[in-house]
Amino acid sequence: MVQVGAQDVIAAVWAFFASSAIGRMLAKIGAAVLLVVTFGAYQRRKGVKAEQAKRAAADAKAHRETTERVLHETASDDPAADIRDRMRDRAGKP
């Protein structure tokens, strides 16, 4: 039995793609498919990064607003009045 090395197989495949018209056509189709798949993966990764940045900005804004709201609240002598005021603010009623 004849031993066939990896270099021999690579040389045979290269010769097929380089010399035959069908091989060249298949190589072009393969390159186009690889381009589309790579570009799609790039766009998906870009979209994920943008979404993560958008979510991080929204979380930071919510944290900042919550911190400001908590630090600016002053306790009055009547805790029930504080609760009523907070409930009124949340409901948007005068």
The string of pLDDT tens digits covering residues 2-27 is 677 888 899 998 898 888 899 889 98
Domain count, the chain: 1
Residue 40, pLDDT score: 92
pTM, whole model, 2 decimals? 0.46
Residue 23 lies in a domain: yes
Q: What is the mean pLDDT of residues 38-55?
A: 93
Residue 12 lies in a domain: yes
Residue 33 lies in a domain: yes
Residue 1 lies in a domain: no
Question: Which residues neighbour 88 within 8 Å (Cβ) at sequence distance 6 or greater?
Answer: 94
Q: Nearest to residue 27, comparing CAs of 18, 39, 36?
A: 18
Residue 69 lies in a domain: yes
Question: What is the chain's mean pLDDT, rounded?
Answer: 85
Q: Is the pLDDT of residue 93 over 70?
A: no
Helix 6-19 and helix 21-72, axial crossing angle in degrees, nearest 10? 100
Residue 68 lies in a domain: yes
The residue segments making up the domain with residue 69 are 6-74
